[in-house]
Amino acid sequence: MNDTAGSAASPEAAATSTPHANVTLRAVLGSLREWWTLHVIGQVDQAEVTERRRQEGALSEHYLFMTAMSGGIAILGLLLSSPAVVIGAMLLSPLMGPIMGLGFALAIGDWDWLKRSVRTLLIGSLLAVLLCAVLVFFSPIQTITSEIAARTRPNLFDLFVALFSALAGAYAMIRGREGAIVGVAIATALMPPLAVVGFGLATFNWTVFSGALLLFVTNFITIALTAFAMARLYGFRTALSARNTMFQNVVLLLVFFGLAVPLAFSLQQIAWETNAQRIVSEAIRERFERPAQLDALEINFGSTPMEVSAIMFTPVIRPEVETEIARALQARLGKPVELTLTQTQTETGAGAAQRAQLSATREREAAAASARVQALATRLSLAAGVPETDVLIDRNRRRALVRAKRLDSAGLGAYRTLEARIAATEPEWTVELIPPSGALPAAIAFGDEGPSEQGVQALAVIGWAAKRLDRAVVLTGSSAQGEQAAKSLRENGVQVRLRAAAGPLRASWVEEAE
C-alpha cells in the first residue's frame, strides 16, 4: 500500500517542482533587472551623455583640422612602413565623435542628429582621403609597403579590433571615463584604412582602393552598431528625442538594415576566407607525414583562379602532390585554385638548420634583388636626366617609370631607344620612359607595297610616343597611305585621325593640327 501511494504521489511532486523552478528563475531575473535598472542605468546621466555626444560629433574647424593632420601623418607612416608614426596619427584622430554620435542617434531615434553625424563623418572622411591622395601623388615613394598591404584585405581579426574598440569607447563615454586612449582605439580601425583608400586613389590601384574601402566600411558599421547596442543596453530610449514620429522610426529602421546588409556580406566573406585558409592548411598538411612543417602560406583571394603559395619542409619530396592538393581544394572550396607548393627536403632532426639555411638564402636573394632595383633606378635617372627620387619603382608589379627632361637635339626616337636599351637589361620588368612632348617624325616614307623601312621605323616611334604621352595623332597626306598607316597605329591602341592632302604622309599631334 505504501509503495502504491508513493508511486501515485511522485507525479504530483514532479508537477509542483516545475512551477517552483520557474518562479525561482523569474525572481532571479527580476532581481537582476532591478539591480541593473537602479544601480547601473540609474547612475548614468543620460541627458548629459547625449548632450556631450552631440557636441563632440559636431562639424567644426577643430574637427576638420585634426582629421586632416591625422590623415596626413597616417599616410606618411604607411609609406614609411612605420607603426610608430601611424600610432601618432591615431592620437590626433577625432573620428570617434561622429561615429559614436551615429550610434547614439540610432538608439534614441533622433533623425536630425543622425543626419548631422553622417554628414560630419562623410566630410571628414573625404577630407582625409583627398589629402592622403594628394600627398601620395606628389610623393616619390609610391610602393605598397607591408603596412599598406595589411589594410587591403579585411579579416576576422580586423573585425574584432573594431568590435572591442567600440565596446570600450561606448562604455567609457556612457560612464564618463572617455579619454585619448579610447580615441586611439577607434582610430586604429578607421584612420589607417582611410589613408590607404587615398593611396589607392592616387596610384589608380583599384584593388588597394576597394580593399581598404571595404575594411573602412566594415569597421565603421561595426563600431556604429556596437555603440547603438551599448546605448540601448544602458537604457537610452526614444523618449530622449525631441522629435519621435512614425516616419522617423521607419527611416531609422531602414538605416539600420542599410548598415546591417553590407556588414552581413562582409562578415560572410570574412568567415569564408577564414574557413578557406583553414581548409587549405589542412589539405596541405594531411598529405605529408611528420615531421613535415608548413611555412609561408599565402592566399590571394582576389585572383581568378585563387592563388595559393606555400613552402613545405619535408623529409620526403612528393612531386605529384601539388596537382592532387589543387584538385582537392577546388572540390572543397568550389572555385578554381592555382597552387604553388615549394617542397624543401630536410633531414630528420636537422629541420631547424635547413630552415636557417633557406632563410639565409632568401636574405641573399632579397639583397641581390634590392641591388638590381637600385641599379635600374640609377640607369633610368641618368637616361632621363632627373634625380633618382623622380624614378617611380613598383616592386610588386615590377614596373619602373620616369618622366624625362628635355635633352638638346634629342628627338622622340632617341628616348624610345634609351627605354629599349634599359628594358632589354631587365626583361622581367615593365620599363616606361615618358618623353617630353616634341615633334613627331616629319614624314612617313612609303614604297610600292607599303611603308618603307624608314616608314616602319617612323610609325614605331609615333605609336610609342602617342602611348607614352596619351595623345591622339593626325595623319595628313594620301588617303590610301593614311588608311594603311592608321591601321597599324590603331592596332597598337593609338587614336588616329585622317586628313587628306597632297604630298607625302606626315604625322602631327591633334592639338597642333587643329
Residue 338 pairs in a beta bridge with: 307
Return the H-helix or E-strand segment holding 306: strand 306-314
Q: Model-level pTM?
A: 0.51
Q: Give CA separation, 307 vs 96, 183, 329, 348, in Å.
A: 37, 38, 11, 31
Separation CA 348–CA 345 (nearest Å): 10
CB 148 within 8 A of CB 126: no
Q: Give pLDDT, residue 172.
A: 80
Q: Which regions in the chain score pLDDT beneath 70?
A: 1-23, 30, 34-43, 153-156, 176-189, 237-256, 258-264, 266, 347-362, 408-409, 512-514
Amino acid letter, 29? L
Structure-block grid coordinates of residue 144: 605598397
SS (H, E, C) 453-513: HHHHHHHHHHHHHHHHHCCCEEEEECHHHHHHHHHHHHHCCCCEEEEECCCCEEEEEHHHH
The CATH code belonging to domain 360-434 is: 3.30.300
CATH T-level topology, domain 274-359:
Alpha-Beta Plaits (3.30.70)
**Domains of the chain, residue spans:** 45-244, 274-359, 360-434, 453-513
Q: What percent of the chain has pLDDT over 70?
A: 79
Q: Give pLDDT, residue 341.
A: 84
Q: How far apart are the first and last CA of the chain?
A: 120
Upstream peptide bond of 305 is cis (omega within 30 degrees of 0): yes
Place of cell 627605354: 419
Q: pLDDT tens for residues 384-437? A: 788 888 888 887 778 888 888 887 667 888 888 888 888 888 888 888 888 888
CB 391 within 8 A of CB 381: yes
Say how many C-beta atoms besides its own lie within 10 A of residue 31's C-beta.
Answer: 10
Q: pLDDT tens for residues 333-350? A: 888 888 888 888 776 544
Structure-block grid coordinates of residue 463: 605609336
Separation CA 387–CA 402 (nearest Å): 10
The answer for residues whose C-beta is within 8 angstroms of residue 509's C-beta and 6 or more apart is 437, 440, 471, 472, 473, 474
Q: Give pLDDT, residue 360.
A: 65
Q: Give pLDDT, residue 156.
A: 65
Q: Give pLDDT, residue 446.
A: 84
Q: Give pLDDT, residue 369.
A: 75
CB 509 within 8 A of CB 472: yes
Q: 45-244 belongs to which CATH class?
A: mainly alpha
Of 506, 513, 509, residue with least CA distance to 485: 506
Q: Give pLDDT, residue 198.
A: 92
Angle made by CA atoms 406, 410, 414, in degrees to the nearest 5: 110
Q: Give pLDDT, residue 177.
A: 61
Residue 67 φ/ψ region, left for φ over 0, alpha for ψ in the -120 to 50 degree band, beta for the rest: alpha
Separation CA 310–CA 167 (nearest Å): 37
Angle made by CA atoms 348, 354, 359, in degrees to the nearest 5: 155
SS (H, E, C) 386-411: CCHHHCEEECCCCEEEEECCCCCCCC
Q: Give pLDDT, residue 7.
A: 46
* Strand ranges (E), 319-396: 337-345, 392-394
Return the H-helix or E-strand segment holding 415: helix 412-425
